[in-house]
């Protein structure tokens, strides 16, 4: 089965809320709320991938020293196996805005069950509740 590598981020604000982004219409799993991030390019380090994706998707700038690995998801979708490390980021420049018009929400981890999320993202909630 194909292996897909995606890097995801829990952006944390001063109230210990985490940013979720709605997957845009037209994409797979459209309308579900996910941790921002994206696909690792060939030869790219996960931290560099996340810095690039956060800039492309949310218009913010962060730095490798501000990214702390927390856990990772490993989920077998029907046509690929997704391996997705989750980093925590508490320091960045700019105000997150969906660069492709996607809706954003700051959510307390304990309230995340109210937001439909891709199945791969669900096991990431418990470690965030423990952390925050």
Give the residue with the Cβ less far from ligand C5P, 47 or 121.
121
Angle of CA points 32, 114, 96, to nearest 5°: 60
Can you tell me which of 5, 17, 38, 81 binds ligand C5P, judged by CB under 6 A? Answer: 38
Residues 43 to 102 in contact with ligand C5P, rule: CB under 6 A: 77, 82
Cα–Cα distance, 132 to 126 (Å, whole number): 10
Cα–Cα distance, 39 to 27 (Å, whole number): 14
Residue 28 engages ligand C5P in binding (rule: CB under 6 A): yes
- Residue of 16, 32, 36 whose CA lies nearest to 109: 16
Alpha helices in the chain (DSSP H): 46-58, 125-131
Stretch that binds ligand C5P, among 30-38, 52-60, 64-72, 106-114 (CB under 6 A): 30-38
- Total residues contacting ligand C5P by CB under 6 A comes to 16
In the complex, the residues that contact ligand C5P under the rule CB under 6 A are: 4, 6, 8, 27-29, 34-35, 37-39, 77, 82, 118, 120-121
């Amino acid at each position: 089965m194909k292996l897909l590598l995606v890097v995801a981020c829990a952006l944390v604000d001063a109230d210990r809320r985490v940013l979720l982004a709605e997957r845009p219409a037209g994409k797979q799993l459209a309308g579900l709320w996910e941790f921002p991030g994206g696909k690792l390019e060939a030869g790219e380090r996960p931290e560099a991938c996340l810095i690039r994706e956060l800039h492309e998707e949310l218009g913010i700038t962060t730095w490798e020293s501000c990214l702390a690995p927390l856990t990772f998801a490993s989920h077998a979708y029907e046509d690929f196996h997704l391996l997705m490390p989750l980093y925590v980021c508490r320091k960045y420049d700019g105000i997150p805005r969906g660069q492709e018009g996607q809706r954003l929400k700051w959510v307390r981890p304990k309230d995340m069950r109210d937001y439909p999320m891709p199945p791969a993202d669900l096991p990431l909630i418990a470690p965030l509740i423990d952390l925050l």
